[in-house]
Chain A
Amino acid sequence: MSQILTTPAAPAHPAPVERELRRERLAGLAQRHGAPAVLVLAVLVASVLFPAFPTAENANGIAIQSSFLAIVALGMTFVIITGGIDLSVGSVFALGGVLAAYASQWGPVPALLLPLAVCGAIGLLQGLLIAKTGMAPFIVTLAGLLGARGLLLAVTDEGSTTYLVPKDSAFLEFGQGTFLGIGYPVYLAVLLFVLGAVLLQRTRYGQAVFAVGGSPDAAALMGLPVARIRVLTYLLSGLLAGFAGVLNASRLSSGVTILGVGMELDAIAAVVIGGTLLVGGAGSISGTLCGVLLLGVIQNVINQIGTLNSSYQSVVSGLFLILVVVVQTFLGRRRRRPR
């Protein structure tokens, strides 16, 4: 979508315009592909500094660790491209896990369907409130954050019950099974990202998501069903956050109640680092994947250093977020100047 901004202008003043255009294109390139470049750089530096980093085992660990956040951030990407935000994903993630563990006593199918139904309903409700009443997404999903956490506490006797998945349950395969040495959650995350990229780039819905984020009024004038697009997007985000919670419960064999606090912030950070603009209308699925992996690599490197406690991770993540967004803003300003 963002290519539109760099379409060549009329060749009236060839030389300076061309130079300006080249510069703009470069800035655009850096903005869109900055995250993969930084990711490659971070991996290279980490590999040189820490001999234990570039091993298959470690890479596998990062991939598994990141896959849950990745699935949550995928839904967040859609929401942010529509110009919204979803603060409820952390609570919904935890709720999905608890419901999955609770329902696993009846077999793997309920363990999958119950959380998806509930989390989807929460997403749907938020989407309806946002799209139909015109309330700010920020505040609706803030209420969603509280409500979903409250529901979780209600299901778990105020957080005192941790439901365990039966030891012989087939449900455990989801999170703990491996194929060619790589865990199922990684495959599922990759599959969802491929589907998500196709959905965003190659379908009518995906193009409408960009249009709604770019300008809801223009999208409505073009005859796009703006409200329906928004509702679907929050539904998708709720479903994905719930599904990530299901996978995590399967991996941990239990519904841990205290998970997911602050996860919405990690997800937003990953999406923003990946080059998706918070104002909406532009963004990419691949960027989000890079953002998630970058956060995973930072965490891993800080664990490798060993002497640093885990608090440094949030300091580095916060710094990274500022750095990326500031650079993005400057690049974006350069490209948008002839507005």
Chain B
Amino acid sequence: MTDTTAVPAASVDRARLARWAQDYGVYAAVAALVLFNIAFTDNFLQTATLRTQLVQVAPVVIAALGMAMVIGSEGVDLSVGSVMALAAAVLPLYIGYGFWPAVLVALLVGALVGVVNGTLVAVVGLQPIVATLALLVGGRGLALVFADGQLKGITNPTLLELGTGELLGVPYTVLIAGVLALVIGFVVRGTVYGRQLVAVGGNRAASALAGLPVKRVLIGTYALCAVLAALAGVLATARLGASDPSAIGNLMELSAITAVVVGGTPLSGGSIRVLGTVAGALLMQLVRAMLINHDLPDSSAQMIQAAIILAAVYIARERRTR
């Protein structure tokens, strides 16, 4: 074979490989990690280990689902961690009225923050990074003000049951995260709102010209993201058995963005990969667990996470030009 024919053939293969890596890379990586762990990590296949992994990843998955929708709208929500803290701070204030009122108020606070975020982005026209940055800074401060800067124990049995209980051997938190992933997957693919969201993320000006309710879609998306974050905050609080607004959700925005990006959702909007996001969150959790199990220190874990983020974005980068 001469060089002239070999070069195009190789480049076609490379393009196909890149395409394949973009579409299925994250699943392949998760599968590879699971196989590696089965082979080399002691006790990996025991239910206790698997359960711990899933329980730990559940809040990240929930927050990342909302983040995936916001990123699909060509935005980003930096305030998810602070919303988690706000929800956690509100819970003990209203738990006296019972389980449901307290959870509803916490979710409502989340929705409120989301509407503020969405309004700043859609109506005022701020860049998503700045609008949600303000709530990232202010939200946690507000949460600490609500909680008086203190850690408060949770005694409500229903709330504690939510954090530690299980149904048919599956912890409630994992169950909720799984159901939400299915629901969001359906919302994105099968509803008018979902199609509108993808259209707005793909080209906001064209969507407006096509008569889509751009502002309403954006505000709804940020509100949904914040409600999911608030739910993640409630679940994290329930699992911890205490409301700790100074620690809950710290750097969650980074974990959520990482899960979304590693899952193959492009930062440029117009496409949302729900299953990929779940796989992205699982991947990062498995990497971390594997490193800890093999006694690699936290420092290496963070640097490896950084490398994975860069690799994922590098692979996904060509998608944008298409």
Contact = CB atoms under 8 A, between A and B. Distances in A.
A322 interface: yes
Interface string A160-175: 0000000000000000
A325 B267 contact: no
Interface string B274-309: 000000000000000000000001111111011101
Contacts of B141: 311-318
Interface string A122-145: 000000010001111011101111
A265 B139 CA distance: 13
Interface string B213-226: 00000000000000
B157 interface: no
B244 to A, nearest CB: 14
Instruction: From B129, B145, B313, B314, name the one whose CB has the most chain A CB atoms within 10 angstroms.
Output: B313
Interface string B25-57: 000000000000000000000000000000000
A263 B190 CA distance: 42
A321 B135 CA distance: 9
A159 B301 CA distance: 14
A139 B267 contact: yes
Contacts of A321: 130, 133-134, 137-138
* Interface of B: prevailing SS: helix
A315 B137 CA distance: 7
Nearest to A266: B137
B129 A85 contact: yes
B142 A146 contact: no
Contacts of A42: none
Contact of B299 (A153, A262, A312): A153
B145 A154 contact: no
Contact of B306 (A136, A146, A158, A278): A146
B191 interface: no
Contacts of A329: 124-126
Contact of A135 (B120, B125, B314): B314
A268 B129 CA distance: 10
Given A142-B254, A318-B139, A326 B120 contact: yes
A278 B127 contact: yes
Contacts of A146: 254, 302-303, 305-306, 309
A335 interface: no
Interface in A269-302: 269, 272, 278-279
B254 A150 contact: no
A326 B131 CA distance: 9
Nearest to A313: B141
A151 interface: yes
B115 interface: no
Interface of B: 76, 120, 124-127, 129-131, 133-142, 144-145, 148-149, 254, 257-258, 261, 267, 297-303, 305-307, 309-310, 313-314, 317
The 3 closest A-B CB pairs, nearest first, are A318-B138, A314-B141, A150-B302
Given A135-B313, A139-B313, 8 more contacts: A135-B317, A139-B310, A142-B254, A153-B302, A268-B130, A278-B129, A322-B131, A322-B134
Interface of A: 85, 129, 133-136, 138-140, 142-147, 149-154, 158-159, 262, 265, 268-269, 272, 278-279, 309, 311-319, 321-322, 325-326, 329-330, 333
5 contacts: A135-B314, A139-B309, A265-B136, A269-B137, A322-B120
